[in-house]
Amino acid sequence: MSDVRVSHGPRAALATRLLLVSLLVALLILAALPLYLEEFWLRVGFSIFAAVIGAIGLTILVGTTGQLSLGHAFFLAVGAISYCWLASEPSTLGSRHLGGLGLPPLLAMVLAVLISGIAGLLFSPVAARLRGIYLGIASLGLVFVGQHVLNSASPLTGGYNGRRTPDFSLFGFVFDDDNSGLKVLGVPFGRAERLWYLGLVLVVLAAWFAYGLLRSRPGRALRAVRDGEIAAAVTGIDVTGYRARAFLVSSMYAGLAGVLYALSIGSVAPESFTVEVSIQYLAIILLGGLGSVGGAMAGAVFVIGLPLLLEQYSESLPFLAEPGSGGVTSAEAAKYAYGIAVILFVLFQPRGLAGIAYALVRRRRAAALRRGDDGLPPDGGGTAPPRGERASAGGTADVDAAGAATSVPVGAPADATSGG
């Protein structure tokens, strides 16, 4: 299915390519932003980068392989805490002694990601025995039991106090405010500016890897598992193995997101990774469109960015009240907004933001078709993916990104096809 776009007519192809170009331009703009934005905005951006990576991991698991997980917060915790433990020197925080290996931060980050992956693999025997709903609640158990274990392992985690995140550094270049007076084009580059680039690079890598994965053989196998395990097994797919590997990949993404999260807030405690965090991530991928990498990004901007934005501007928004005054505060407004958005999206747009973007692109393609300069129907000409019952499954859009969508789910929203 990766070759579909090749066969489109020149105009439609150009549209796709322009999109890619605009993606590049968007990247460049993102790369230039630290020259303009204040530290607060860079911090918000870095939180979003972290969430994007975590959400991509979850969308691979839930959207692509159909394994409902409420345990994402646990894998984030494992990544975050492992990083802190691996990269810190032993120290004493408050009344507790904290262990640490003092490894170079880059190595600690890589190992933290691996440890999260192993945690995911360890859980996969449980996951292999359970489906859908049972898996959802079992993974919820992971959060509760995991939190207890992590809280008890206070030499590792700092217990309820948590522990401080060691600064990230790359071959001696520290991602923190230092007195080096580093300036780029006259702009002082401190911690926030440096971390922004770290986040950006990691997001690009994470997204690139996910796109590749989803379009490769394993990606197709994962979707086949989702759409019908028996059918998949019949075609020779190692169902249990793929489900386990999905957990591995997803928890590694979560682990990396956890490391970035730890860097963004400066200290982590097991308490930071409650079931609310899992829910937040599910909301992100649902709003973005299950299974869509681009959607995961859009969802993260909405769910993570909105509360911070509302808070920053709460004074100038007339409907928001001061915290504690009894009125609706910015934090509450953001929660209402994303709770309601989740409900509305499930009801009316189960394919999420990616589905909307996709429908728009499709309409444009259809218009191009009508003008007669495109030789092929929008979903023809390529290898049609096995669709199975996906069409009836609301919320499992097989849309990779707005414009790069290459397959057309049978049950696409009616408005998307009205133009053709």
Per CB under 8 A, the segment of 17-25, 111-119, 367-375, 376-384 that binds other proteins is 17-25
SS3 state at 406: coil
User: Is 279 one of the binding residues for other proteins (CB under 8 A)?
Assistant: yes
Q: What is the smallest separation between the CB atom of 213 and other proteins, expressed in angstroms? A: 6
Residue 82, Ramachandran bin (φ over 0: left; ψ between -120 and 50: alpha; else beta): alpha
User: Is 267 one of the binding residues for other proteins (CB under 8 A)?
Assistant: yes
User: Is 212 one of the binding residues for other proteins (CB under 8 A)?
Assistant: yes
User: Is 152 one of the binding residues for other proteins (CB under 8 A)?
Assistant: yes
User: Is 187 one of the binding residues for other proteins (CB under 8 A)?
Assistant: yes
Contact with other proteins (CB under 8 A) among 52, 213, 300, 353: 213
The two tokens of residue 332 are 């509450």
Cα torsion at 199, 201, 203, 208 (round to 10°)? -170
SS3 state at 380: coil
User: Is 178 one of the binding residues for other proteins (CB under 8 A)?
Assistant: no
Amino acid at 243: R
User: Is 6 one of the binding residues for other proteins (CB under 8 A)?
Assistant: yes
Question: Which residues between 217 and 246 bind other proteins (CB under 8 A)?
Answer: 218, 226, 229-230, 233, 239-240, 245
Amino acid at 260: L
Q: Which is nearer to other proteins, 22 or 370 (CB)?
A: 22
Question: Which residues between 84 and 113 bind other proteins (CB under 8 A)?
Answer: 93-96
Question: Which residues between 355 and 384 bind other proteins (CB under 8 A)?
Answer: none
Per CB under 8 A, the segment of 10-18, 77-85, 101-109, 367-375 that binds other proteins is 10-18
Q: What is the smallest separation between the CB atom of 86 and other proteins, expressed in angstroms? A: 19
Contact with other proteins (CB under 8 A) among 12, 77, 140, 156: 140
Q: Which CA distances in Å does 176 have to 110, 167, 180, 261?
A: 19, 6, 10, 15
Q: What is the smallest separation between the CB atom of 395 and other proteins, expressed in angstroms? A: 4
User: Is 410 one of the binding residues for other proteins (CB under 8 A)?
Assistant: no
Please list the residues that pair with 163 across neighbouring strands. 268
Give the burial class of 420: count Cβ atoms within 10 A of its Cβ; 0-12 exposed, 13-18 middle, 19 or more buried.
Answer: middle
Per CB under 8 A, the segment of 99-107, 135-143, 252-260, 376-384 that binds other proteins is 135-143
Please list the residues that pair with 91 across neighbouring strands. 98
Q: Which is nearer to other proteins, 265 or 419 (CB)?
A: 265
Contact with other proteins (CB under 8 A) among 21, 106, 122, 317: 21
Question: Which residues between 288 and 347 bind other proteins (CB under 8 A)?
Answer: 290, 308, 312, 323-324, 326, 328-329, 331-332, 335-336, 338-343, 346-347
Residue 337: name the closest of 359, 361, 311 by CA. Answer: 311
Q: What is the smallest separation between the CB atom of 104 and other proteins, expressed in angstroms? A: 20
Q: Three-class SS string for 83-100?
A: HHHHHCCCEEECCEEECC
User: Is 167 one of the binding residues for other proteins (CB under 8 A)?
Assistant: no
Amino acid at 191: R
User: Is 133 one of the binding residues for other proteins (CB under 8 A)?
Assistant: yes
Residues touching other proteins, count (CB under 8 A): 122
Write the DSSP symbol of residue 324: T
Per CB under 8 A, the segment of 80-88, 99-107, 133-141, 356-364 that binds other proteins is 133-141
Contact with other proteins (CB under 8 A) among 110, 114, 130, 204: 130
Q: Which is nearer to other proteins, 171 or 328 (CB)?
A: 328
Contact with other proteins (CB under 8 A) among 11, 15, 121, 161: 161
Q: Which is nearer to other proteins, 266 or 377 (CB)?
A: 266
